[in-house]
Amino acid sequence: MGVINFINHDGKQHVVELEVGKSLMQIAMDNGVSGIDADCGGACACGTCHIVVDTKWINAAGSVMDDELQMLEMTPEKKPTSRLSCQIKASESMDGMIVHVPEFQM
């Protein structure tokens, strides 16, 4: 058991239970984290589950596949550690991970 820290653009922090095997998007939605729309339900087709992983945690988030990368290229607020939260599967090595939720989804 561990936690994931979602931080909204206004500094509001949501510390939620890390549920191994679920996507970070699903964990956020299940715990009422605001700012993630997830319009396509996790199919890597909408880009509205954009998050920015804290630089210390980017390796724990795993690698980015081509379809995720293409979707991120269309994201106006893209940062070097941007990811789609539906494409990150929670694992025990993510205990304590910090992710930032941008002000707007596309």
Contacts with ligand FES, residue ranges (CB under 6 A): 25, 38-40, 42-49, 71, 84, 86
**How near is the Cβ of 64 to ligand FES at its closest, in Å?**
13
Nearer to ligand FES, 11 or 63 (CB): 63
> What does the radius of gyration of the chain's CA atoms come to, in whole angstroms?
12
Closer to ligand FES by Cβ: residue 40 or 98 = 40
Name the residue nearer to ligand FES (CB basis): 42 or 96: 42
Rounded Cα distance, 74 and 66, in Å: 13
In the bound complex, what is the minimum distance in angstroms from residue 35's beta carbon to ligand FES?
13
Q: Minimal distance in Å, beta carbon 70 to ligand FES?
A: 11
Distance CA 102, CA 77 (A): 7
| CA dist., res. 20 & res. 89, Å (int) | 7
Q: Give whichever of 1 and 34 is closer to ligand FES, judged by the CB atom.
A: 34
Q: Residues with Cβ < 8 Å from 77, sequence gap 6 or more?
A: 50, 102, 103, 104
